[in-house]
């Protein structure tokens, strides 16, 4: 557990969904705390309830048991201290890069000149200076995700939630964007919660990794990553990095196998029904 007073506390979260096959427990009794400036990754196989947890913490999903507290305050709906970066491409195609990044400042009622100046700072931070007047359609997938990141950072959240933000990108771009995230985290001391199913990404970026079980999603283990900081993507070649990846994979392997078997039996059942 972190030593400083936690900025984010997740207590005994249970979330169930009604499905045609009965009640499905997506997340069961998940608890953890995140210290200010800490980078925590939540990793688990597909279908373990990671994104459900992301939506619960972000206040986009209600009807759950347990409690989410941000800075000592219980979260009921989206919280101004929590910024979210989504897995899907989420830039506004009708706004230029600078106007996308300035969006939360515009909503906050900041004057145009001031918000554009501030937005420019965050555009530079994610390495997109020179692309301010471009539209998302003119950018690559990685650049668009950086626009989303800059937009969330512009709202100056105390906690940044990221739901597999680089899942759609190739491995090399993902590693390089990981460098960008590490740099930003170091510069801003940004508290970050990353939801991912990518082992390398989780180890490269995190201070701790919470490994989840396959359905219902429970905490299997929390692993502390004692790799030196500041880090870059070069760390992926180190022996320690490899050991952490192997250790987490040994935890995940069993859960991922359960997920795979479950998928296969579901497909077989669906095939049987059709026949």
Partner 1 sequence: MTTRASIGRQFVPVAFGIVCLLVFFVLVEALVRIGTINPFIVPLPSEIVLSFKRIVVEEQILPRFLLTCGEALMASLMLSVAGIALGVLLHRKRIVRLATETWIAAMASAPIVLMYPLFLVIFGRSAWTIIMIAFVAALPPVILKTLEGLSSTRPVLINVGRSFNLTPSQLYWKILFPSSLPTIFVGVRLGMIFALINIVGVEFLINFGGLGQLVNELSERYDLPGTYAAICFVIMVSVMFFIATERIERWLRPGA
Closer Cβ to partner 1, 136 or 216, answer by number? 136
Judged by the rule CB under 8 A, the positions of this chain that interact with partner 1 are 58-60, 78, 80, 82-84, 86, 88-90, 92-96, 103-104, 107, 135-137, 155
Rg (CA), the chain: 19
Q: How far is the CB of 60 from partner 1 (least distance, A)?
A: 6
Do residues 164 and 196 lie in contact, with contact meaning Cβ atoms separated by under 8 Å? yes
Do residues 235 and 204 lie in contact, with contact meaning Cβ atoms separated by under 8 Å? yes
Closer Cβ to partner 1, 108 or 222, answer by number? 108
Closer Cβ to partner 1, 102 or 235, answer by number? 102
Q: How far is the CB of 109 from partner 1 (least distance, A)?
A: 11
Closer Cβ to partner 1, 154 or 235, answer by number? 154
Q: Which long-range contacts (CB under 8 A, 24 or more apart) does 229-238 make?
A: 229/186, 230/182, 230/183, 230/186, 231/182, 231/204, 231/205, 232/179, 232/182, 233/175, 233/176, 233/178, 233/179, 233/204, 235/204, 236/175, 236/200, 236/204
Closer Cβ to partner 1, 82 or 143, answer by number? 82
Which among 144, 153, 184, 164 is positioned nearest to 54, based on CA atoms?
164
Closer Cβ to partner 1, 39 or 86, answer by number? 86
Q: How far is the CB of 139 from partner 1 (least distance, A)?
A: 11
Q: How far is the CB of 239 from partner 1 (least distance, A)?
A: 39
Q: How far is the CB of 218 from partner 1 (least distance, A)?
A: 26
How many Å apart are CA 44 and CA 8, to the nearest integer?
A: 20
Q: How far is the CB of 96 from partner 1 (least distance, A)?
A: 7
Which among 260, 165, 252 is positioned nearest to 210, based on CA atoms?
252
């Amino acid at each position: 557990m972190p030593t400083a007073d936690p900025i984010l506390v997740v207590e005994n979260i249970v979330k169930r969904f009604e499905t045609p096959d009965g009640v499905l427990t997506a997340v069961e009794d998940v608890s953890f705390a995140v210290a200010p400036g800490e980078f925590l990754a939540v990793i688990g196989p597909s279908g373990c309830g990671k994104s459900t947890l992301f939506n619960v913490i972000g206040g986009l999903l209600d009807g759950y048991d347990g409690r989410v507290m941000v800075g000592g305050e219980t979260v009921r709906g989206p919280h101004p201290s929590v910024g979210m970066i989504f897995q899907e491409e989420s830039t506004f195609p009708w706004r230029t890069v600078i106007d996308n990044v300035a969006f939360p400042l515009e909503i906050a009622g900041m004057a145009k000149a001031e918000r554009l100046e501030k937005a420019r700072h965050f555009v530079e931070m994610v390495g997109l200076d020179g692309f301010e007047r471009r539209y998302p359609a003119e950018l690559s997938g990685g650049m668009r995700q950086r626009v989303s990141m800059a937009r969330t950072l512009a709202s100056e959240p105390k906690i940044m939630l990221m739901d597999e933000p680089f899942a759609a990108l190739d491995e090399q771009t993902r590693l390089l964007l990981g460098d960008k995230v590490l740099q930003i985290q170091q510069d801003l001391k940004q508290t970050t919660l990353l939801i991912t199913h990518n082992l390398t990404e989780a180890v490269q970026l995190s201070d701790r990794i919470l490994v989840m079980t396959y359905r219902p999603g429970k905490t299997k283990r929390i692993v502390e990553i004692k790799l030196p900081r500041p880090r870059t993507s070069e760390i992926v070649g180190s022996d320690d990095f490899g050991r952490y990846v192997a250790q987490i994979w040994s935890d995940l392997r069993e859960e991922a196998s359960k997920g795979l078997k479950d998928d296969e039996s579901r497909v077989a059942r669906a095939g049987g029904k059709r026949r």
